[in-house]
Amino acid sequence: MVKKKFFSTGGNKGKNNTETTENKDNATVQDTEETNHAEMTSDGKAEADQPEQAAEAKEEADKNKDEQRVILEKLTEMQDKYLRLSAEFDNYRKRTLKEKMDISKYGGEEVLKDILPVIDDFERALKHMESSENCEGVKEGVMLIYNKLIEYLKLNGVSEIPALNETFNVDLHDATARIQVQEEEKKGKVVEVLLKGYYLKDKILRHSKVVIGD
């Protein structure tokens, strides 16, 4: 068998090199054009995004303002509630303090009020003794008890309401009857005390039952 050898000529080699150089130049130009096109596209896209970003920023700012306004309104409402609660608590504290003081001051009111009928009985007994004979010892004993009981009541803040010959006072006296009187100065005044009235410190424990001159 005969082997054939092929040899490339120098002219073909130069031609191939020229084509390669041209291809490289064309590729470089194409790459440059693509890069420029990409940059122009990117710049156009950035310019188009700017209005949208500005709108989003404005919307976010408005949203923050609305949130701040809502927070301020809630804060004002909470402050108003706090002031109201503080005022109510202060009123409650003063009221309970007054109630405690009244309890301490008038705590024995019912007990002392129940003792008053005993005073009434003593006074009736003393009145009958004045018209009886040979009862000086009994009278002295009853008077001693009576005085001790009156002193006890005074120590506890109980005192008698002035009534006889006093001008009738509806806040102090309870009129049970009216009688005609000749003396002008007795008209409108208490001419008889049927049942004594008493104070408990500065509070009326029992009104006086009286007869008024008319």
Domain segments of the chain as ranges:
54-106, 108-156, 159-214
Q: What's the pLDDT at 34?
A: 55
Phi, psi of 69 (to 5 degrees): -65, -45
Spatial distance between the Cα atoms of 188 and 68, rounded to a whole number of angstroms: 75
Q: Which residues have C-beta within 8 Å of that of residue 119, sequence separation ≥ 6? A: 146, 149, 150, 153, 196
Contacts with 153 (C-beta within 8 Å, 6 or more apart), sequence order: 112, 115, 119, 159, 198
| Rounded Cα distance, 125 and 118, in Å | 11
Which residues make Cβ contacts (< 8 Å) with residue 166, sequence separation at least 6? Answer: 173, 189, 190
pLDDT in tens, the chain (214 residues): 444 444 444 444 444 444 444 454 555 545 555 555 545 555 555 455 667 777 777 777 777 888 888 888 888 888 888 888 888 888 888 888 887 877 777 777 777 787 888 888 878 877 777 776 767 777 777 888 888 888 888 888 888 998 888 888 888 888 888 888 888 888 888 888 898 999 988 888 889 998 988 8
Q: What is the pLDDT of residue 106?
A: 72
d(CA 173, CA 195): 10
Side chain identity at 178, as an amino acid letter?
R
pLDDT at residue 42, rounded to an integer: 52
- pTM of this prediction exceeds 0.95: no
For residue 13, what pLDDT is reported?
A: 43
How far apart are the C-alpha atoms of 117 and 41, rounded to whole Å?
Answer: 113
Handedness of CA 199, 204, 210, 214 (dihedral sign): positive
Arch. (CATH architecture) of 159-214: Roll (2.30)
Count of other CB atoms within 10 angstroms of residue 200: 19
Strands 198-200 and 203-206: antiparallel
Residue 176 tokens, joined: 């049970």
